[in-house]
Amino acid sequence: MINYFSRIANNTKAILQGHWITLKYMFKPAVTIHYPDEKLVPFEKFRGALLFDQNVCISCNLCVKACPSNCIQLENAKNETGKKIAKVEWYSIDFGKCNFCRLCEEACPTKPKSVWHSLDYEVIFVKRDEMVRCWKKDFPFVGRYWDRLTQSFKEAEGQVNIHDVQPRRS
């Protein structure tokens, strides 16, 4: 009989503790984000999609050498005589292989970095071709992809940018 009332008391105590916790949180402000109308801004060290600035790059190949998954490729620009210069003709990253380790960004010697992780977490790939982003002269920071059917570079459809100008780490 004592055991029976002891269990009732313990269960009543547990229920009251649960109600107390519910009551405490009931009057606190909501922390819900109404996605997709509102978007969270990730913290500073977030590793989103890689972006590239061709005007800053000195074509040193350190990012290519630092990449453990071998997803970065570039070709040096050449002057009229055919000699390589410290500019990039084209640069590409295969997001299908990239493990977002940030070693390419850390290896980059330029200030500001020519390759950096953005704060974008909504990178959309509809087909395999869109996973390989390429940068050439006058391409946007998010790059373009090579469409094998039309044999031309295209903008990725459905790409959502959280920030217009991506912050860079120096």
What the block records as the tokens of 132 is 């390989």
Residues 68-91: pLDDT tens digits?
A: 999 999 988 888 888 888 888 888
Least-confidence region, from 3-17, 47-61, 152-166 = 152-166
Q: Which tokens hold the place of 148?
A: 């094998």
pLDDT of residue 170: 47
pTM of the model: 0.68
Judged by DSSP in three states, 108 sits in coil
Q: What is the mean pLDDT of the chain?
A: 84
CATH architecture of the domain with range 50-154:
2-Layer Sandwich (3.30)
Distance CA 75, CA 62 (A): 13
- How many Cα atoms are found within 13 Å in the side-chain-facing hemisphere of 45? 2
Residues with Cβ < 8 Å from 58, sequence gap 6 or more?
Answer: 86, 87, 109, 110, 114
Tokens 């509809």 — which residue? Answer: 126
Domain ranges of the chain: 50-154
What share of the chain in percent tops pLDDT 70?
Answer: 92
What is the three-class DSSP state of 5?
A: helix
- Please name the residue ranges forming H helices in 34-120: 62-66, 103-107
| Whole-number Å distance between alpha carbons of 143 and 93 | 9
Give the per-residue pLDDT at 159: 65
